[in-house]
Amino acid sequence: MRTVIFDLDGTLADTSGDLLAAANHCFRDMGHGDVLVHGDDAAVALRGGRMMLTHGLKRVDAYEAATVDQYYPVLLDAYAQAIDHHTEFYPGALEAVETLKAAGYGVGICTNKPERLADLLLTRLGVRGAFASLIGADTLPVRKPDPEPLREAARRAGGDPALCVLIGDSDTDRNTARAAGVPSVLVTFGPSGADMAALQPEALLDHFDDLPGLVPGLIGQAA
């Protein structure tokens, strides 16, 4: 079976609002107040919890690696408590997933979000069952851009890892697909969308309505 594997944060859904809220919970606990700004810091949020803590602490001239380590589990707990308050799927994302499934493709997720949080988010949003596989940052001993999480996501979705495409929003996704020898499609509607063309993916995606038409010409194409 041919498979379409999606990144989650910044690709299928804009999760930045809930991520930034969790980081600001930590900064308030440190006595800095709300350091990161909803909207303005969306791209930072989609780089993960440690990046948010690092960026925010540098902004207030209080960065220490030990502080990031100390507050990372606090951030994860705060995020889990309010994981779906602001998160929204990008327009057409879920419709594209269903169209691809109806056309016979296996569909899964390969994310660098911890698996339990990705599973919790998708479950809270009522769409966990839409995806045949879910590989998180800690599902395997390695994470993206190592190619094995992508390959495993394809396998668990019932597919051949050599016959898949990765839909993502970052250099991490581009490098993962390249390492796996499969094509990538990078979305242009996320916070870093203007930077995607420079990564030279096999295709750029301006709207999910266009994805089902792109996929047949990509899968099986060497990256």
The string of pLDDT tens digits covering residues 174-185 is 999 999 999 999
Out of 7, 9, 18, 173, which one is annotated catalytic?
7
The predicted pLDDT at position 190 comes to 87
Find, among 200, 117, 100, 214, the residue nearest to 159 by Cα: 100
E strand segments, the chain: 3-6, 13-14, 88-89, 106-110, 133-135, 164-168, 184-187, 203-205
Q: Decide: residue 65, CB within 10 A, 0-12 exposed, 13-18 middle, 19+ buried.
A: exposed
Judge whether residue 21 has pLDDT over 70.
yes
Q: Tokens 């999760």: give the residue.
A: 15
Render pLDDT for 86-129 as a digit per residue (tens, 0 to 9).
999 999 999 999 999 999 999 999 999 999 999 999 999 999 99
Render pLDDT for 128-144 as a digit per residue (tens, 0 to 9).
999 999 999 999 999 99
CA distances from 196 to 4, 70, 170 (A): 19, 33, 7
The predicted pLDDT at position 223 comes to 44
DSSP annotation of 9: B
The predicted pLDDT at position 191 comes to 87
Find, among 121, 118, 167, 157, the residue nearest to 139 by Cα: 118
Q: Round to whole Å and give the CA distance between 12 and 189.
A: 11
The predicted pLDDT at position 115 comes to 97
E strand segments, 52-124: 88-89, 106-110
Q: Angle of helix 16-30 relative to helix 49-59, nearest 10 degrees? A: 50
Active-site residue 14, yes or no?
no
Find, among 120, 131, 144, 145, the residue nearest to 93 by Cα: 131
Q: How confident is the model at residue 220 (pLDDT cuts 50, 70, 90)?
A: low
